[in-house]
Structure 1
């Protein structure tokens, strides 16, 4: 087990987090761009999980598995999404949920 397994695990966790974020924004705003992102996030999370399991099962497949995880992260960030926030809030205010959304 090398450090690449930890990189793959972190990438998989980030992919799942981005999927849940898109699903949560769609649930609160019903914006169609986030709906598509949430649907695609299921597939990208499955790809990342498959990559992590490949890295976990065999050291010979670690580079291929890391490529699958990074591909899932790249695809998760693509795609058009609408603006949710007004524009003058800080990241802390967004995190705490004290701002209005569209």
Structure 2
């Protein structure tokens, strides 16, 4: 599944029945819950990266991407918004970009 298809699925589930969709349930609980779940998944991915288990890291990375998109959707930030920001930064040194945020 591409990230765009995943983002479209998440957007489509915004109005779905929370009893029938995990995505709808997360979104119904609000941005704070979506952010909490993203944080949990990010920590799990870090743990697997440190352990060096490639298969488990792959699974956790997929969870992180999904929950990142859910968290962003809960605040009406789209994958296109994120892509535009990455495009804006293209060709800029990471050090320079961080410094510009002061």
Q: TM-score range by the shorter chain?
A: 0.3 to 0.5
Q: TM-score, normalised by structure 1?
A: 0.44
Q: TM-score, normalised by structure 2?
A: 0.44
Larger relative contact order, structure 1 or 2 (CA cutoff 8 Å, min sep 6): 1
